Structure 1
Amino acid sequence: MLTPEYAPYLMRRSQRPDDRRNDSSARSRGCPPVPGNLPAELTAFVGRTAELAALRTALVSARLVTVTGVGGVGKSRLAARVAAEIGPRDGAWLVELAQVRDPELVEHAVASALDLTDHTRRSPRQVLLDRLAGRELLLIVDGFEHLVDATASLVRDLLLRCPGLRVLAAGRRPLDTTGERVMPLAPMPEQDAAELFTDRAASCLPGFAPAGRDRADVLELCRRLDGIPLALELAAGRLRALSPGQLLARLDDRFRLLAGAPRDVPPRHQTLRTAIGWSHELCTARERLLWARLSVFSGPFDLEAVEYVCSGDGLHADDVLDVLDELLAQSVVSREESPTGVRYRMLDTVRAYGAEWLEAAGDAARMRRRHRDWYMGLATWCELDWFSPRQAEVATLVECELPNLRAALEFCLTDPEETHLGQYLAGTLWFCWVGCGRLAEGRHWLDRAVELDGAHEDSRLKALWVLGYVAILQGDTVPALCALQECQDTAERTGSAVATAYAVHRLGCLALVTDDMPRAERLLRTALEQYRQLGELNSNVLMGQVELAMALAFQGALGDAVELCEDVRRVCEDHGERWALAYALYVLGYAAWTRGEQGHARDLVTRCLDLDHAFHDLLGTVLAVELLALFTVSEGDAAEAAVLQGVAARIWPSVGLPLFGSEHFGGPHALCEARARQRLGDEGYEWYVRAGTELAPDVAVSRALRRQRVAAESRRPGRGEAALPPQAPETREPAASPTTRGGETAG
């Protein structure tokens, strides 16, 4: 799906690896994350003393407080400031819904913001209810007004079921749900508005300190702009070219020019539109053109995307950077740092204004297609780069680009002429859905895609086998079988050898997790031979080898399984592949343990866990934890093994059916449990398992990666707190040990 015109932009991206920062290293070092995700303040917070105090007080007496007001009045900034000051035990978490268009994705967006990964067929709402039930946190829901019904329904359920949760909402209207405390936010008073204007003006005009006539003009500007922060900041950005008096004179003209809004439109909406429209009028023709075209982006975007999507027809690609820089100077666009480097963002109100101009120019459909083309190319490039040393960077990049990828998917799947491209895009992102822990969202898009009739059979076939793969990993075997069988039948009828190979491969994977090892071996061998004939070599092919190795190991052919996984290991090291490598290390670790090489086995599986956790791959993570529990009990530490089994028990509900309901995959767990129960007794074993379930996933993985042992004296059930790492966040104090009485150790 790549065209020659993509090459210059995407090649530039691939040649700049140092510009991207991968945040997975912190996880791999075992550093517990700071609770919450509030962004750092990049500009001074000015005024609002009374509002801050009122909002803090409201949050003490009410569990749901909604700050309402006109767009640009400062609702989001006020909410974030108060949330940062309150700092509940489990953190303050911001959910931005302005870029979410589908009500069905509200729950996905909240789960994503809270970093809750779940691979099951459970709804994201159920995952949220389960995972937040015992936590004390503040959820900030911002920009929900276009999704008010879906947001209100979710917030209502969360508050009913999660007693430690408080919600601070910021939008243009209330949620209108039981128990809501509404706090209307008025524009800034004159003095605060003048202080804000002066502060922002000084950032573009160093030393700006209005006095005399300039001071009077600034106060008049603040009055005429009704003290709306966004309007003030837009106006302040123009001081690099105009004096306060000139600003005031031009503002008079623009008010008259943009008058005539319907009577039922709130006055402050008219005022904000006037401010934005005035800023738009002061832009050059090229700046207005870029402003309108930037409105097709959803969420942050980077320079390469702007240069491709927005150039042409009056704006040469070489001039885009200069024009973008002018929009940055005027605060029409903001700059932000991200794990992938510098990115840009438009406030939603500013974006909506540009979108109106784009529609009026009759260019909206063409620009949305160019936006779709860019992100189709990006997804294709990332799929190729997934099998490379840049795999971790691809994972980080896709995370940043999700809002725009979602917008491209939505565009394709709502236009009958674009259906085949939506199917292609949903299938091409398999590495995001499977490799980066987004199975539930992938299932959402894939289900939608395959329900539609596309013009190109190959695109639908790819969506079908990816849907089957996702469903298998979710433990949803019937839909998986239906999708894969349809894919195989259609591929054989139409002569699509590639789709046939992938369908056979995933049918083999389905047989593997349902304990039909002879069938799994036959299908996987067939698929691998088909891949060889087609010249396919990628992460999927390597996973096919690992899955075949599992089928062989379960049938007793451990030597053949090791040979296959060692081959996978060599190929991964040659190509820089890490995701498939983790699964090969899992098999090799189990083989080393069976040979009595316990230290080597632990090293292999600990590295497997490190890789899986970095990619947010919950399936690989929980399988590695199960194996480490077996190794630990074999080393004589039954208490720590039981804790690890408790950790796994907490993770499995977010993956699917524990151990796929498979006797073969469940073998290490059963053996570990039997040995641990024998040494600890039933009550002691159950107590340590419960202690493990109290560990938050990141803390638990850090514990396993550090390979810290609980000291021998503190392992006994009588020293219950020793089952948890000292001062570990995201934990609760365990219940009293079953073998203690009155604070003394029994026996």
Structure 2
Amino acid sequence: MTNVIPEAGNLPVTFTSFVGRRRETAEIRRLLDTGRLLTLTGAGGAGKTRLALEVAAMSWNAFADGVWLVDLAPVHNPEAVAATAAAALGVPDSGVRPVVEQVAGYLARRQVMLVLDNCEHLIEACADLATALLSAAPGLRILATSRHTLSVTGEHVFSVPPLCPEDAVKLLRDRGTAIQPAFRITDANRHWAARLCADLDRMPLAIELAASRLRVLSMEQVAVRLEDRFALLTGGSRTAPVRHRTLRGVIDWSWDLCTPAERLLWNRLSVFAGGFSLDAAEEVCVGDGIAASEVLDLLDGLVTQSVVLTTESEGLPRYWLLESIRQYGWERLAESGEAESLQLRHRDFFLALAERVDSHWNGADQVGSLSRLRVEHANLLAALDLDADPQGRLALVAALRFHWCKGGFLTEGRRQFDRAFEVAPEPTPARSRALLVAAWLALIQGDMGTAGRWLAEADALGRQLAEPAVNAVVRGLRGLSAYYLGHVDQAIPLYEEAVAALTALGIENEAAYYLLALAIARSRGGHPDAAETCRQVLAAAEVKGERSGRAQMLLRRGVDAWTRGDREEARTLNRAALESVRGFNDYATTALLLELLAWINASAGDHHRAALLLGSAGALWRDAGTGVNAFGPDMAGHHARCEAEVVRALGPARHDKTLAEGSGRDTPARAIAYALETGTQQAPPPPAAMHTLTRRERQVAALVAKGMTNPQIAKELVLSPRTADRHVENILTKLGYNRRLQIATWWAAHEVPTS
């Protein structure tokens, strides 16, 4: 349900206005200023999520590294809470350390607000996560929503009240006008509006559901019919809280007023976790009362009635149900006896999606494919939780290999393979394929022992089941193992055997992966056929529009060009690789490309820019949980020599300051944007330029160099936001710059005094 903006956060796009709650938003922001963990509590339907998202959106400028939503509603396993937070933040998962440690390390140097939404069914896991992250990250604020408190030290609690009478009527008017443009609250119906809102306990969700009836009923009719409905409820449970009974009554009424086909779709949509797309609904929810051609109209009807909500995620239209609505539909679905068959349809849809991505990986839509799988992560995990078909689970976990390895979910992938192998030990083709993918994950994580055991089992299964393709891939992966261990001469013949065998079997896509690996190994090993193999790989990538492998190939060629002294060729290849890897959120490849660009700049005498690039690469390595040394002694040696040269040229103090400045570009998106700058920017003004700045302007420039936003600068120096804005504009004008980054670079280079 999120539209990811990597540099700003991932708050969802909202299509309805936020009404009222001025006192509540002011108080919540005050509490967040004084404490670092605030939990909004209240009954289901009280508006906790919407209030939290509104406060988060209002706070965006105060957090330099963004405001991020972690939706926990679709998460049922407490062990997955930290991984869900990591996925929301885009933390690179190296799979080497526990996920919570990776997230804590990632946030340790960042200024972030984290919204943990729907914590009530995972209280202990959320409490543990909040404690670990807040202990590690001084710049972190957590805003949680839950029906219960987290009960951890330092937690502030805000109980979300019902809307005040005035705001409740405003919400009813707003939603009524959206559904029926001619709708008005007048002197004639104002009494009924107030009465209706009071009967609904002024609960936002209940009011929104009731407002959907104003399309066909008058205000009085809606109020009277709801009163009749609540009268019937008095025969039900008297132990349930009043607001719970009120909400249940409104949802019951909404369900009763739907057509039979709309009810059926509502029930079936509850099988989705974390939202769904139109094509998923049209595939999973059809049959036995719903034709595929009817889904769109039925869905539109449920949207009109506020049962289904709309948003965007990764630029794609998406639908979702509030958790109270989804749980209601799931109860109805379970009563109907359709739950298991719908879960199987759900699993089959996402297995088909994963297999399409897998089979077309070498094409032009790699970034789009990863985005789609990332959006569907909660649904993928739900599909993998299906116990009815262990062989299907093996097939799905293997088909998701690029989601695990390229999408940044190594730890989750390993966990899913362990579960799948445990419940499906039979020697089947699905197990042999899963063993191959699991071994790949283990190799990436550096777990050579486990990878070796899985490859041995896969090799034996391939022979037992007469699957020569399995044995060919085993050879290729053993080549990868040798390469990672630094035995390039052993890797090359294994890659050659894999390519030959897979090509002979007509499995061209799989052969392409090992041809790429062979080209890189031959290039690194100085093989006489290296240039021709690289040319072959790049030609195929150009034809297909493939980008991930192309970036790796260009990187290797760039290193070779730089090593033989062809600086301009190396720069051209590096730039092409950066363009190719853009959008992948690939920390390691981006860091390697920044390393190469730093070496190129240092050898050209631009030591300041080289230091900035090394600082950025260092930040990426830190968050990726690895370093340049992991990529062989030749890369480590180039790095060491470059850094020593930069220190000599700049001096230790200036080197350290510039490195720290560069480390602010700590995501692939930021790093690539900087690296792709043409290098023709204005030279920094000389130190004498400091004398054109006032003392206050020098103080502001120093805070800009620390990465502070204008609102943060205003707070630090006790200025109005408008005054801080004016100071920054004056600095830009006096220095002849047009970007804040240029101020920071100049200040760091010249160690400008602030007094």
TM-score by structure 1 length? 0.88
- Give the equivalent residue in structure 1 for 2:106: 131
- Give the equivalent residue in structure 2 for 1:603: 572
Q: 1:648 to 1:543 in 2, by over 3 A?
A: farther
Q: State the distance in 2 between where 1:322 and 1:313 align.
A: 17
Q: State the distance in 2 between where 1:724 and 1:604 align.
A: 33
Equivalent residues of 1:472, 1:510 under 8 A apart: yes
User: Displacement, 1:285?
Assistant: 1.1
Q: State the distance in 2 between where 1:724 and 1:190 align.
A: 46
- Give the equivalent residue in structure 2 for 1:527: 498
Report which structure shows greater RCO (CA 8 Å, sep ≥6). Answer: 1
Secondary structure at the aligned position of 2:125 is classed as: helix
- Give the equivalent residue in structure 2 for 1:141: 116
1:644 and 2:613 correspond: yes
Extract unaligned runs of 5+ from structure 1.
1-20, 27-32
Secondary structure at the aligned position of 2:196 is classed as: helix
User: Displacement, 1:671?
Assistant: 4.0
- Give the equivalent residue in structure 2 for 1:54: 27
Secondary structure at the aligned position of 1:706 is classed as: coil
Q: State the distance in 1 between where 2:743 and 2:450 align.
A: 37
Q: 1:94 to 1:542 in 2, by over 3 A?
A: same
User: Displacement, 1:102?
Assistant: 1.8
Look up the equivalent residue of 1:583 and give its one-letter code: Q
Q: How does 1:553-568 map to 2 (within 5 A)?
A: 553-557=523-527, 559-568=528-537
Determine which of 511, 519, 522 is the counterpart of 1:552.
Answer: 522
Look up the equivalent residue of 1:617 and give its one-letter code: D
Look up the equivalent residue of 1:489 and give its one-letter code: A
Q: 1:670 to 1:715 in 2, by over 3 A?
A: farther
1:381 and 2:352 correspond: no
Look up the equivalent residue of 2:416 and give its one-letter code: W
User: Displacement, 1:624?
Assistant: 1.6
1:217 and 2:208 correspond: no
User: Displacement, 1:358?
Assistant: 0.4
- Give the equivalent residue in structure 2 for 1:480: 451
Q: How does 1:35-434 map to 2 (within 5 A)?
A: 35-87=8-60, 88-90=62-64, 91-411=66-386, 415=387, 417-434=388-405
Q: State the distance in 1 between where 2:597 and 2:614 align.
A: 9
Extract unaligned runs of 5+ from structure 2.
691-700, 708-736
Q: State the distance in 2 between where 1:642 and 1:450 align.
A: 47
Q: Which moved more, 1:690-699 or 1:117-126?
A: 690-699
Q: How does 1:438-587 map to 2 (within 5 A)?
A: 438-455=409-426, 457-538=428-509, 540-557=510-527, 559-587=528-556
Q: 1:629 to 1:546 in 2, by over 3 A?
A: farther
Q: 1:165 to 1:729 in 2, by over 3 A?
A: farther
Q: State the distance in 1 between where 2:586 and 2:686 align.
A: 30
Q: State the distance in 1 between where 2:16 and 2:135 align.
A: 37
Q: State the distance in 2 between where 1:509 and 1:483 align.
A: 14
User: Displacement, 1:41?
Assistant: 3.9
Look up the equivalent residue of 2:30 and give its one-letter code: T
Q: State the distance in 1 between where 2:153 and 2:705 align.
A: 41
Equivalent residues of 2:591, 2:620 under 8 A apart: yes
User: Displacement, 1:280?
Assistant: 0.5
Q: State the distance in 1 between where 2:754 and 2:521 align.
A: 50
Equivalent residues of 2:429, 2:465 under 8 A apart: no
Q: 1:504 to 1:735 in 2, by over 3 A?
A: farther
Q: State the distance in 1 between where 2:752 and 2:214 align.
A: 74
TM-score by structure 2 length? 0.87
Q: State the distance in 1 between where 2:557 and 2:748 align.
A: 39
Q: State the distance in 1 between where 2:427 and 2:282 align.
A: 30
Q: 1:40 to 1:591 in 2, by over 3 A?
A: same
Q: How does 1:692-703 map to 2 (within 5 A)?
A: 692-697=662-667, 698-703=669-674
1:628 and 2:597 correspond: yes
Give a deviation string over 1:295-329, Cα, whole Å, max 9, x none: 00112212221111111111222222221111111
Q: 1:131 to 1:43 in 2, by over 3 A?
A: same
Secondary structure at the aligned position of 2:56 is classed as: helix
Secondary structure at the aligned position of 1:169 is classed as: strand
User: Displacement, 1:69?
Assistant: 0.6
Look up the equivalent residue of 2:643 and give its one-letter code: E
Equivalent residues of 2:14, 2:311 under 8 A apart: no
Q: State the distance in 2 between where 1:104 and 1:733 align.
A: 42
Aligned-residue RMSD, C-alpha: 3.0
* Percent identity of equivalent pairs: 38
Give a deviation string over 1:104-150, Cα, whole Å, max 9, x none: 22112212222222324112211222122232332211111111111
User: Displacement, 1:595?
Assistant: 4.4
- Give the equivalent residue in structure 2 for 1:614: 583
Look up the equivalent residue of 1:199 and give its one-letter code: D
Look up the equivalent residue of 1:79 and give its one-letter code: A
Q: State the distance in 2 between where 1:120 and 1:650 align.
A: 18
Q: 1:443 to 1:364 in 2, by over 3 A?
A: same
Give a deviation string over 1:418-437, Cα, whole Å, max 9, x none: 22211211111111222233
User: Displacement, 1:169?
Assistant: 1.0
Q: 1:662 to 1:197 in 2, by over 3 A?
A: same
Q: Which moved more, 1:275-284 or 1:477-486?
A: 477-486
Q: State the distance in 1 between where 2:237 and 2:248 align.
A: 13
Q: How does 1:730-741 map to 2 (within 5 A)?
A: none
